Chains A and B, each alone.
Chain A
Amino acid sequence: MFPFRLPAAPHALALALALLALPFLSAHLAGSVQAHEGHDHGAPQAPVSKTIAPRGEASSAAFELVAIPRGDAIVLYLDRFATGEPITDAALEVETPSGPAPATPEADGRYRLPAPWLAARDPGQDHLDLVVTVTAGADVDVLSLAVALAPARESAAAAPTHAEHASEGWMQGLKERLTEKFAARDPGAGLFAAGGFALGLAAMALMRAGRRAPVLAVLVLAATLVLGATAFAHEGHDHPETRAAFVPPPTDLAQRLADGAVFVPKPTQRLLSLRTQVAAEGAFRRTVSLPGRIIPDPNASGVVQSSVGGRLAPPPSGTFPRLGTKVRAGEALALVTPPVQRVDLSDMRQRQGELDQQIAIVQRRVDRYLKLSPSGAVSQVQLDEAQDELKGLKDRRTALDRIRQEPEVLTAPVGGVIAEAAAVAGQMAAPGQMVFQIVNPERLWVEALSFDALTPAADATARMADGRTLPLAYQGAGLADRNQAIPVQFAIQGGSEGLRVGQFVTVLAATDAEQHGLALPRASVVRNANGQDVVYAHTAAERYEARPVRVAPLDGSRVLVEAGVTPGTRVVVQGAELLDQVR
């Protein structure tokens, strides 16, 4: 089947494979070694996209600076490193090729550095090295800034190739083209590789057979093929420079890059008001969320009930207090006049008649005793007794009258606001019926149902349907079971405006269990297109990267990132939703 002896096959195969692998391997090794030789850590990164203007950025512990050449000036944007807050009132002193020059702040929050020397630069220069001294309040920092420059037209054509790199460049070019073709699943590349392999096998077989001339012929053929392929590839392949000529001028639009990161230029960052926070690891109490309901503070609320059945009448002020009226403790809210039954009425009339009659008799006796007492015919004792009897009878008569006329006054037991009013003039109130409910709106509680016992000193917050949160202080928990849960009461701390009794809230109460992770504001976690929770890390001045995270609820306003973000990462805490919309 094959024109050579079988035992030679493994050797030939190994050699052929080695030959094939060599360019890739050498290029790879050369790349890693070159990192030092080329020594280009100081050079600015190439623009991430063709539609983004060349720029430079620098950062320190305090500041983040971006510089963009625009015509004959350089526009600078200065922000706080940790928060991303723009600094608009700093003093910037820039070390330019023509000496130190200040960058002047402009109305829109950026700084402008006139750069007439930009036009006179060496066309071969691809970047500009600036040193910027930033003074913002008490913070002083010196930043070294390498600004990439748009390649000058003539420099691209005249870019000299160093002699010692020529062969390496050719190899590199061949490798790149091959990789490209493989990546594009070009059948030509496959054929090329297969051809090389076959030629290698043939050369090996002939060498084994001891024939020199055919080996030479095969090698010459191989060289011709390789060179020819390069030449063709060269012709068919577009130069990056010529391709670049058709690219529209950079517009600096916010965009999602091929690697999934988001490029947001500084002006857009300011428009979206993006802010970051340096994520710090800490220990946090785990929270449980409980269904809760707002209740009035038992010590600052009360009900007004009638103790007797009777007819309701407005208080002496003339009107019943309306809903929402503020009342003081002890204020009269309504009157209840107990009705007198017909049989009681006749009984009372009868009693009244009797009393009147007795009063008349005793009155006459007292009068008579008064006349006789000075002469000693009636003893003083008799007179006193008669007077006492008269007084007693009169008192009983008055009491009888009062019972018929005097209503019961309903007063406010506590100060507060009328939360419920069921009073209508003339209405018959049953004994024990609630006429008014008074609630102090400054003192409201939350009652939540907990399925496990909470630690008494634990802090808690209540989250409302509209996203507001209320700090809560633990008051106590019941022991009596209610729907397989125990009621836990919390007092609302601070302002309780806009709350109503009976409103449902979600109580987030801390438990004993501590969790380690990074606490971030709830708004910093967004959901991406495939439903995964991500946060945006601010990795470079204008670059944001989505990091998938695992989050756990922490409290009303924060979430705990358990995995996905390392401490020290700058995480977007404001505007993450808007950032997520960038396509």
Chain B
Amino acid sequence: MLIRRFVTAGTLAIALPFCAHHACAHEGTGHHGGRIVDAGPYHIELVTKDRRVEVTIYDAKEKAVSPAGFKGTAILVVGGKPARVVLAPSGAGLSGEAEVALGAAPKGVVQITGPDGAAASGKFN
């Protein structure tokens, strides 16, 4: 009985940090149906619709950050060619218009520059 309790406690003690570790590497779908990746101290969500690029910034606890003071650039590969999109604050995130229609999930990099001037980027594959 005692042994079982010890084993349970030990397993939990070992497993919990691992769970926490996995939880923080949260690549996946975000609140707006886009892909979420890490970018420096932030998490960013990328949503592309036709030619429009929308980026939402979250902090480490998945809370949306006001885009005021942020600027950004998205470089997305579409049809074997890179498309550079300048992002500016609009609404709850950063957004911009590309010159060509982007697919549903183009691969590329989104770089954001915070109000403090530090840049961070997230890679979308």
Residues of A within 8 A of B (CB): 29, 32-33, 35-37, 39-43, 93, 95, 97, 100, 122, 125, 128-129, 131, 133, 135, 138, 140-144, 146
Nearest B-chain residue to A126, judged by Cβ: B118
Q: Which 10 A-B pairs have the closest CB atoms?
A: A129-B119, A36-B24, A42-B40, A144-B121, A144-B109, A142-B109, A32-B17, A133-B82, A39-B60, A142-B108
- The reply to whether B111 and A95 contact each other, CB–CB distance below 8 Å, is yes
Range of interface residues on chain B? Answer: 20 to 34
Chain B residue at minimum C-beta to C-beta distance from A58: B123
**Shortest CB–CB separation between residue A120 and chain B, in angstroms?**
11
Chain A contacts for B41, CB-based, 8 A? 39-40, 42
User: What separation, in Å, do the CA atoms of A138 and B79 have in the docked complex?
Assistant: 11
Q: Contact: A143 with B109, CB < 8 Å?
A: yes
Mark B38-53 against chain A: 1 for CB-CB distance below 8 A, else 0: 1111000000000000
The answer to whether A131 and B121 touch (CB under 8 A), given A32-B17, A36-B20, A39-B60, is yes
- The 11 sampled A-B contact pairs (Cβ below 8 Å) are A33-B20, A35-B21, A36-B60, A41-B25, A41-B38, A42-B122, A100-B84, A122-B118, A131-B73, A131-B109, A144-B111
Contact B118 A39 (CB under 8 A): no
Mask of B68-112 contacts with A, CB within 8 angstroms, 1/0: 000001011100111010000000000000000000000111010
Listed in ascending order, the chain B residues whose CB lies under 8 Å from chain A are: 17, 20-21, 23-25, 38-41, 60, 73, 75-77, 80-82, 84, 107-109, 111, 113, 116-123
**Residue among B24, B25, B75, B119 making CB contact with A97, cutoff 8 Å:** B119
Question: Known contacts A42-B41, A129-B120, A141-B77: does B111 contact A32 (CB below 8 Å)?
Answer: no
How near does chain B come to A260, taking the closest CB pair, in angstroms? Answer: 26
Q: How far is the CA of A125 from the CA of B114 in the complex (A)?
A: 13
CB distance B20 to A42 under 8 Å?
A: no
Which residues on the B side are within 8 Å of A133 (C-beta)?
Answer: 75, 82, 84
Nearest CB in chain A to that of B21: its residue = A35
A35 with B24: CB separation less than 8 A: yes
The answer to whether B107 touches A142, judged by C-beta atoms less than 8 angstroms apart, is: yes
Please tell me if the beta carbons of A140 and B81 are within 8 angstroms of each other in the complex: yes
Shortest beta-carbon distance from A57 to chain B in Å: 13
Smallest distance from the beta carbon of A43 to chain B beta carbons, Å?
7
> Bound complex: CA of A482 vs CA of B111, how far in Å?
75
Bound CA span A146–B111, Å: 11
- In the complex the two chains form, what is the Cα distance from A284 to B40 in whole Å? 45
Residues of chain B with a CB closer than 8 A to A143's CB: 109, 123
Distance in Å: Cβ of A155 to nearest Cβ of chain B: 13
A42's partner among B38, B73, B80 (CB-CB below 8 A) is: B38
